[in-house]
């Protein structure tokens, strides 16, 4: 028994709408987390650094233990959520959206493999170079 084409198209439309909703949600989370992350980065570089240089030893002992763990907590989570939602968006837009497989014929050439190898093994190569 063949499925009804109209039912398939309605299901496909519903799937596309749900993917669009997911893209919107993750895009907004990505933007807000990115603003939080970069805002705290500017805070550390342009506000906290110069201000910490002007404090005396007793003031630093009181302010730094209160301020830094809280701000680093939000900085860490802002960076994580920005990165994670960015990866999820890439998957939703390019993989599930079909843009990754847009070409009917995909040629896997040597430059493609070199690019993939550098992407995945570059972190380990960089780490090995920096440890020497």
Angle formed at CA 74 by CA 53 and CA 44, multiple of 5 degrees: 20
pLDDT digits (tens, 9 = 90+) for 53-79: 898 989 888 888 888 999 999 999 999
The tens digit of pLDDT for each residue in 20-37 reads 888 899 999 999 999 999
Length of the chain: 132
23 burial (CB, 10 Å; 0-12 / 13-18 / 19+) is: middle
Q: What is the mean pLDDT of residues 9-20?
A: 75
Torsion of CA 72, 74, 79, 85, to 10 degrees: 160
What pTM, to 2 d.p., does this model score? Answer: 0.64
Output the average pLDDT for the chain: 84
Report residue 81's pLDDT band, with 50, 70 and 90 as the boundaries.
Answer: very high
Tell me: pLDDT of 8 over 60: no
């Amino acid at each position: 028994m063949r499925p009804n084409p109209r039912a398939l198209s309605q299901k496909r439309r519903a799937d596309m709408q749900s993917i669009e909703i997911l893209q919107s949600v993750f895009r907004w989370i990505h933007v807000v987390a990115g603003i939080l992350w970069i805002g705290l980065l500017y805070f550390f570089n342009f506000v906290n650094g110069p201000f910490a240089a002007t404090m005396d030893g007793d003031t630093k002992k009181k302010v730094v233990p209160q301020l830094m763990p809280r701000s680093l907590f939000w900085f860490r989570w802002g960076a994580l959520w920005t990165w994670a939602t960015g990866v999820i968006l890439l998957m939703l837009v390019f993989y599930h959206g079909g843009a990754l497989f847009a070409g009917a014929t995909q040629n896997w050439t040597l430059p493609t493999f070199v690019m993939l190898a550098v992407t995945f093994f570059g972190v380990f190569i960089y780490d090995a170079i920096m440890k020497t």
